Structure 1
Amino acid sequence: MLKKIALIFLFQIVLGYAKAQEIAPLWKDFLEAKKTGKEAVLPDFSFAGYHFSEKNIPDVSKHKYFNVKDFGAIPNDDKFDDEAIQKTIKAAEAYHKPAVVYFPAGKYLIAPDEDASKYISIHKSNIILKGEGSGINGTEIYQANKRVNGRQFIFKPNNAKPEKITQIIKNAKRASFEVTVTDASTLKVGQDIIINHRSEAYTKQYFAPLNLKPQWTRLFGEQGGMLIFEIHTITKIEGNKLTFKNPIHLDINMIEGKSWNILTYPSIEECGIEDILFTSNWKSYPEEFVHHKDQIHDYAYEAVGMEFVKNSWVRNCVFQDWNEGIHIKSGYQISILNTHFRGKKGHASVHARAGYGVLIKNCSFNGAQHHGAGNGYSAVNTVITQCTLGKDQNFDIHSGQPIATLFDAIEGGVFYNLGGPEPGYPHHGKDLVLWNFNHLAEKNQHYNFWDETRRRNNTIAQPILVGFTSNTTVTFENIGVNQSQGKNVLPKSLFEAQLKLRLTHAK
């Protein structure tokens, strides 16, 4: 009887909590748009992560294991293991089936010199780097010497140069899934492609009525403009009409003299990193980090790069004492999960650019880098959800006009002093959404999101804030939407709610 009363009491508490929180009006708008086929204010961010979060990351225990110790690596000594690790990777690649490059527990040394042209490479699909855990008595990979602008593990296909296939010949709406091309005869269902365009005329049209400063020089001239680089998967071909798996995130409008091209998307896939502690000797450098002081402070120790990689992941790892942790370029359906950034402060943690659907979930960035997770340079549909940042740690919108970015159920962090050079401004295009973002700062803040008077400003096109909270007074101007400031809203996570809605409708 007492148990039953306790359950009723708990239910009443939960029900009262739900009533205390309001359902966000923009969520109601999104649901209505899905019912009626109209265009919602919010983008559909659910197309993010490994296989667009429709599949679980595989259990790799059944893959064939290639043990680095069998190829000459010796943990916990003073010798370097770069060559042995690379030999192990080559053997795994030659297997031509899913394979694990396995690091038994212990500390492995890499980077015996300061030659930044050297790195450990993965060029083929189905290769997973796996250790025995990122905690005590687990696997540690330690970069001993600085290699400025040299990432130490790079996943990248041998041929990573997109090629033109055809052109789009009709306008298409944001949030739609179809385009019409001149010739679809060489395309196939299941193929990944890139929508590519760049022109000053379209850029002015896209940002209107916002003014573009002449100092933003990359936007102007015959070769200028925001670079559009959306990756999509074809699900249907009818004549010259292509249907995509994932939505388009901007209006496609024909521009005289400037084509909208369909390019190939060369990639490797099903690659991963899990259960490893990555560390470096940045902790011993005799200066504390100063943002942009010099190349050493920004780029001396960089851990992982992923370029033209799809359906891949990093999970259950720790990056401690790094100038840069994970850099993802032209990634497609990538998940960074349960991964944490610690140690001496450095430059960047996770940065995604020129890709689509990078998901960063359940990660912590608590002051270990100047920038928490973020993106830049044409990235589309980047989702950072259920993560924690440090007080006054800024997220990274690194200019170059990324579009449709979601910061979702975030605890901590600020958004002043965003990254990127002034010629590459604006920082962000449309559809930057902050959903249940809890801003933590030492001082009150005022954000002008389209400030043309200062060099270091926030140039974000009409951002959308829903359920924004803060520990100090925060005010805004030049904002697109600001709903329910000062209190959290339902759903708690926009990404999870949109994903559940999509997967439910798919059944």
Structure 2
Amino acid sequence: MKRTILIPLLCMAIASKAQNVAPLWTDFVQAKKQGKTPVLPDFSYAGYHWSEKNLPDLSGKKVFKVDDYGAIPNDEGYDDDAIQKAVDAAEANPGGGIVQFSRGKYLIAADNDSTKQIRISKSGIVLKGAGSTAGGTEIYQANMRIHGRQFLFQPAAGGQKKLTTIVAGAGRETYALMVQDVKKLKVGQDVVIRHRTEEFTKLYFAPLDLKPQWTRLFGNPGGMQIYEIHTIEKIEGNQVTFKNPIHLDIQMVKSGSWDIENYNSISECGVEDILFSSNWKNYPEEFIHHKNQIHDYAYEAVGMEYLKDSWIRNCEFHDLNEGVFIRSGYRITIENTHFRGKKGHASIHARTGYGVLIRNCSFNGAHHHGAGTGYSAVGTVITKCSLGQDQNFDIHSGQPYATLYDDIKGGVFYNLGGPEGGHPHHGKELVLWNFQHESVKDQHYNFWDMSRRRNYTIAAPILVGFTSDRAVTFEKAGVNESQGKRVLPLSLFEAQLELRQKGTNIAQTK
């Protein structure tokens, strides 16, 4: 079996500016000009308003100070009720508002009841502190609440309803498809492409073998779960055109339909300038992955479910089992946010959404898993982030696809997460672009490992500009281009965004 060996590079060589333009970037630019399908997905449709707008400056937005509702920083009283009252007042205000925290330490979680959470259920609510570093705002979870994210953004009501059925196949990186009828559709509407069958799953992964232990893929209602969120740009007859690209080949099968459903969400919510911390630092054991529910889930800070055009920025998460959990997020940005302290389970996890952008964040080995994705997520982008040595990024099974790790410093990708029944870990188009691997030992990666339970099953990943500080070998990579040297553009996400918005090829200007 052929193996690719990467010679270790000196740190100075790794840091030096690349001069070679990646052939896959050239292919992408040419394919866009010619209306053809590029090898690379277009990852530029990620982040708040697809990164077409800056995060809002909040000027003129009404402020609701938690202190005015009974919260007192730096005392021994618990502030959950007062914070919820401030949130409720902001939600009652047309357009929402800023839930403002003063400098100091606020205590939450007076008991172990995991059903008690501070809930945000309407659009336009921003939690804002006075800074996430010393002298700023700290929100401290005093007691463990297993599987209870203490700040939960989630619509109050909703549910998914079928709107129509797709009647013809469509290619990946295209924008239009044919549907049975358009009576329940309108321009500007957010919808979800839904499908799940064993038949399509086998077509999608062929010719790769699927293990019988991957039980969620087989039978009825087994199969890879497809959940792509899109915004309708135009409707012509029974053809619907989306603003954002479809990231897999839609193939008609006999055993199940491809449906269009509604996407119910809240939007324009944010978290800014807050340090989240917990009593996990005083628990009398060091973290052991999956030792028990306490180690994995006792102290969890922020949950964001069914949010659109929302963000977290300039925050820190210290001494937590889980920092940020995102479910079905659409156009979310997390930036300039950092994870520190006693090691925990998961830092940021994005699942079943489209276009979550994690940018300029550091993970510092503070969690077993660095930033990651799983369970049907599409178009997730992690860019310009740093991981600790031998900290793995998190691909938590459930077949996410079209994921970009872009200009990442540090970290590894062995011992990925997720139950065996939910494998393989990742579908097609996992792209590692200018990934700087850092490990204490030499590593060998077989990307479709059928022999070991807790390793990795990733369908033909694309590696471009991969560098490492140790010897690394690969099996079953889809593409391994320009190994051992960084390439231009240094950031694929930034280059694709610049090309889409301005038509500029930044690889030719640097």
TM range (shorter): over 0.9
Q: Distance in 1 between matches of 2:267 and 2:438?
A: 37
Q: Distance in 2 between matches of 1:113 and 1:29?
A: 57
Q: Which residue of 1 aligns with 2:60?
A: 62
Is this contact kept in 2: 1:131–1:274, CA < 8 A? yes
Q: Distance in 2 between matches of 1:73 and 1:414?
A: 42
Q: Secondary structure at the match of 1:83?
A: helix
Q: Which residue of 1 aligns with 2:364?
A: 366
Q: Distance in 2 between matches of 1:484 and 1:20?
A: 11
Is this contact kept in 1: 2:216–2:222, CA < 8 A? yes
Match of 1:339 among 334, 337, 340: 337
Match of 1:145 among 143, 146, 149: 143
Question: Offset at 1:474?
Answer: 0.4
Q: Which amino acid aligns with 1:145?
A: N
Q: Secondary structure at the match of 1:298?
A: helix
Q: Secondary structure at the match of 1:380?
A: coil
Is this contact kept in 1: 2:17–2:486, CA < 8 A? no
Question: Offset at 1:423?
Answer: 0.3
Q: Deviations over 1:194-240 (max 9, x none)?
A: 00000000000000000000000000001000000000000101111
Q: Which residue of 1 aligns with 2:250?
A: 252
Q: Distance in 1 between matches of 2:18 and 2:161?
A: 54
Residues 70-469 of structure 1: pairs in structure 2 closer than 5 A: 70-469=68-467
Q: Distance in 1 between matches of 2:128 and 2:384?
A: 25
> Residues 487 and 72 (structure 1 numbering): CA distance in 2 closer, same or farther, change over 3 Å?
same
Q: Distance in 1 between matches of 2:390 and 2:94?
A: 47
Q: Distance in 2 between matches of 1:306 and 1:150?
A: 12
* Number of equivalences: 490
Q: Which residue of 2 aligns with 1:11?
A: none
Q: Which residue of 2 aligns with 1:10?
A: none
Q: Secondary structure at the match of 1:322?
A: coil
Q: Secondary structure at the match of 1:135?
A: coil
Q: Distance in 1 between matches of 2:52 and 2:158?
A: 26
Q: Deviations over 1:150-176 (max 9, x none)?
A: 100000001242111110001100000
Question: Offset at 1:505?
Answer: 3.8
Question: Offset at 1:309?
Answer: 0.4
Q: Which amino acid aligns with 2:414?
A: Y
> Residues 471 and 117 (structure 1 numbering): CA distance in 2 closer, same or farther, change over 3 Å?
same
Q: Distance in 1 between matches of 2:381 and 2:48?
A: 12
Q: Distance in 1 between matches of 2:230 and 2:400?
A: 16
Q: Which has the higher contact order (CA 8 A, sep 6+)?
A: 2
Q: Distance in 1 between matches of 2:194 and 2:156?
A: 22
Q: Secondary structure at the match of 1:74?
A: coil
Q: Which amino acid aligns with 2:150?
A: Q
Question: Offset at 1:403?
Answer: 0.4
Q: Which amino acid aligns with 1:243?
A: T
Question: Offset at 1:95?
Answer: 0.3
> Residues 394 and 18 (structure 1 numbering): CA distance in 2 closer, same or farther, change over 3 Å?
closer
Question: Offset at 1:18?
Answer: 9.5
Q: Deviations over 1:228-273 (max 9, x none)?
A: 0000000101111110010000000111130000000000000000
**Where do 4+ consecutive residues of structure 1 move more than 6 Å?**
none
Is this contact kept in 2: 1:160–1:308, CA < 8 A? no
Q: Which residue of 2 aligns with 1:487?
A: 485
Q: Deviations over 1:97-152 (max 9, x none)?
A: 14100001111000000001110000000000000000111000000000011100
Q: Distance in 2 between matches of 1:26 and 1:254?
A: 29
Q: Which amino acid aligns with 1:88?
A: A
Q: Distance in 1 between matches of 2:166 and 2:63?
A: 45
Q: Secondary structure at the match of 2:379?
A: strand
Question: Offset at 1:20?
Answer: 5.5
Structure 2: which 5+ runs fail to align?
1-14, 505-510
Question: Offset at 1:457?
Answer: 1.8
> Residues 385 and 398 (structure 1 numbering): CA distance in 2 closer, same or farther, change over 3 Å?
same
Q: Secondary structure at the match of 2:249?
A: coil
Which one is further off, 453-462 or 358-367? Answer: 453-462
Q: Deviations over 1:57-88 (max 9, x none)?
A: 11113200000000000000000000000000
Q: Secondary structure at the match of 1:325?
A: strand
Q: Distance in 2 between matches of 1:342 and 1:288?
A: 15
Is this contact kept in 2: 1:384–1:407, CA < 8 A? yes
Q: Distance in 2 between matches of 1:299 and 1:134?
A: 23
Q: Distance in 1 between matches of 2:32 and 2:272?
A: 37
Question: Offset at 1:277?
Answer: 0.5
Q: Distance in 1 between matches of 2:294 and 2:158?
A: 28
Q: Distance in 2 between matches of 1:18 and 1:113?
A: 52
Question: Offset at 1:454?
Answer: 1.1
Q: Which amino acid aligns with 1:454?
A: R
Is this contact kept in 1: 2:18–2:490, CA < 8 A? no
Q: Deviations over 1:448-502 (max 9, x none)?
A: 0001011112100000000000000000001100001110000000000000000
Q: Distance in 2 between matches of 1:464 and 1:257?
A: 31
Question: Offset at 1:359?
Answer: 0.1
Q: How big is the alpha-carbon RMSD for the aligned residues of Structure 1 and Structure 2?
A: 1.1
Q: Which amino acid aligns with 2:463?
A: L
Q: Which amino acid aligns with 1:240?
A: N
Identity of aligned residues (%): 68
Q: Distance in 1 between matches of 2:314 and 2:322?
A: 18
Question: Offset at 1:34?
Answer: 0.6
> Residues 214 and 302 (structure 1 numbering): CA distance in 2 closer, same or farther, change over 3 Å?
same
Q: Secondary structure at the match of 2:387?
A: coil
